[in-house]
Amino acid sequence: MPDGRVVATTDLLVEDRHFRRDWSTAADVGAKAAAQNLADVVAMGARPRTLLVGLACPASLPADWVLDMIGGLVAECRRAGASIAGGDVTGADRVMIAITALGELAVSRPVTRAGARPGDVVALAGSVGSSAAGLALLRAGKAAPGGDLDQLVRAHLRPQPPYPAGLAAAGRATAMIDVSDGLVQDLGHVAVASGVRIDIAAAELPCPEAVEMAAKLLGAQWRDWALTGGEDHALAATFPAGSVLPDGWRRVGDVREGDGVRVDGEPWTGQTGWEHFR
């Protein structure tokens, strides 16, 4: 890095826990592994620069699968302006991918989870709920390639983080986070780190038409997907009151005194999102 100001993040994907090879192509797995790390970098107000990739896999895994997975990694890195610097390979009884991502700060200080203050505006870049809807369709066997709902399956298998929006918020957002485990859960991390309460206005959350269609097909509530479904890798941030939001951001709530997360003024009592050990 030119001046040594670096942010770092790491993530681990385990076959049959974070992805399934019968649902995902190798390129999908690689792109998703890159995206979830690159999104964390921009959520800290940094430009993604480098990935280090660790791969564990069975000896029987076809070499073509590994090469296609690397192709997915490279393709997603290009979207974000990053590259792969190296890594390691070892044997295991299933595929596991561990990535460390390094980013160069775009502004003088990183954006953390701890800067939100009462009076701030809560905003969202990207969409939430599409990946959860796609996962529900896959689990229900309703994923028809090329159909109207195929975009939701693609959102789950190959998320598209809004990298430019994260960089646009650097230096302006008081706190920011990548929405990987669910909006309620991840904004809860911001609330705890900042010592505030966050109120989400559910009516302000974007609901793509395809998500509404999937909810009707499966007898589900799209709002639950939007609030607690993870892996869209949208970005959530807080901005000072009265701010003009950067391009790609929309207001979805407010920061107040108190603690925890509320939805439409009421405490959220249901599942908050993905929990790794549940």
The 10s digit of each residue's pLDDT in 118-147 is 999 999 999 999 999 999 999 999 877 777
In the chain, CATH 3.30.1330.10 sits at 6-105
Q: How far is CA 188 from the centre of its chain?
A: 15
**pLDDT-based confidence at residue 270 (cuts at 50, 70, 90):** confident
Region 33-42: what's the mean pLDDT?
97
What the block records as the tokens of 50 is: 């480098």
Taking residue 258's Cβ as centre, other Cβ atoms within 10 Å add up to: 13
Beta-sheet pairing, 197-200 with 260-263 = parallel
> Considering only the top CATH level, what class is 6-105?
alpha beta
CA atoms of 125 and 210, how far apart (whole Å): 19
Which of 23, 16, 18, 92 has the alpha carbon at shortest distance from 54? 92
pLDDT value, residue 182: 96
Region 185-212: what's the mean pLDDT?
96
For the segment 49-93, what is each residue's pLDDT rounded down to a tens digit? 999 999 999 999 999 999 999 999 999 999 999 999 999 999 999
pLDDT value, residue 110: 94
In the chain, CATH 3.90.650.10 sits at 121-267
> Considering only the top CATH level, what class is 121-267?
alpha beta
Region 6-17: what's the mean pLDDT?
95
pLDDT value, residue 174: 98
CA angle 180, 183, 184 (to 5 degrees): 125
Amino acid residing at 3 = D
- What percent of the chain has a predicted confidence (pLDDT) above 90? 88
Q: How far is CA 61 from the centre of its chain?
A: 28
Decide if pLDDT at 6 tops 90.
yes
CA atoms of 227 and 175, how far apart (whole Å): 19
